[in-house]
């Protein structure tokens, strides 16, 4: 039984690694004509904002930026430790004080909330019109 669980753990880690590699976009790519180009300063600030919100160490947090307009960004996040990993999507808005995480997780993306935050349609093609905003 222990060998079987070890085997499943190794396979799971391998699949998570491959999945993580598959969602990472090379620099200077675009989705719906919106670039993922992000300065190192903004990248680090978004990563820190996500880690802070999740109460997770930044050095155990990995992010990808899929789209960035300069004041609105979206991407993926993975939190890892010796017990495993988890993650999901994130949306952030750049304000005077820095990047603010508007929404993160694995659930639906409410169109109304995202539009109120100023996200353009090309950044939220997968949003849900009937979904209620998260608190």
- At 71 the pLDDT is 96
The whole model's pTM is what?
0.75
Do the beta carbons of residue 124 and residue 131 sit within 8 Å? no
Angle at 103 between CA 100 and CA 107, to 5 degrees: 165
3-state helix, strand, coil split of the chain in percent (to 5) is 35, 35, 30
Neighbours of 24 (CB within 10 A): 16
The residue ranges of every structural domain in the chain are 26-123
pLDDT tens-place values along the chain, 135 residues long: 444 433 434 444 444 443 444 334 345 677 877 878 899 999 999 999 999 999 989 999 999 999 999 999 999 999 988 887 889 999 999 999 999 999 999 999 999 999 999 999 999 999 999 887 665
Separation of alpha carbons 77 and 103, rounded Å: 12
Sheet holding 84-95, edge to edge: 61-68, 72-81, 84-95, 98-105
Cβ burial, residue 6 (10 Å; 0-12/13-18/19+): exposed
- At 95 the pLDDT is 96
């Amino acid at each position: 039984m222990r060998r079987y669980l070890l085997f499943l753990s190794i396979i799971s880690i391998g699949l998570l690694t491959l999945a993580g590699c598959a969602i990472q976009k090379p620099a200077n790519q675009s989705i719906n004509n919106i670039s993922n180009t992000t300065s190192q300063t903004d990248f680090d600030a978004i990563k820190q904002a996500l880690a802070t919100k999740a109460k997770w160490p930044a050095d155990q947090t990995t992010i990808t930026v899929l789209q960035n307009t300069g004041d609105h960004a979206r991407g993926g996040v993975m939190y890892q430790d010796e017990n495993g990993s988890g993650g999901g999507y994130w949306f952030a808005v750049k304000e005077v004080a820095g990047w603010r995480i508007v929404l993160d997780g694995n659930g639906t993306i409410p169109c109304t909330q995202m539009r109120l935050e100023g996200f353009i349609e090309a950044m939220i093609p997968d949003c849900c019109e009937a979904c209620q905003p998260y608190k």
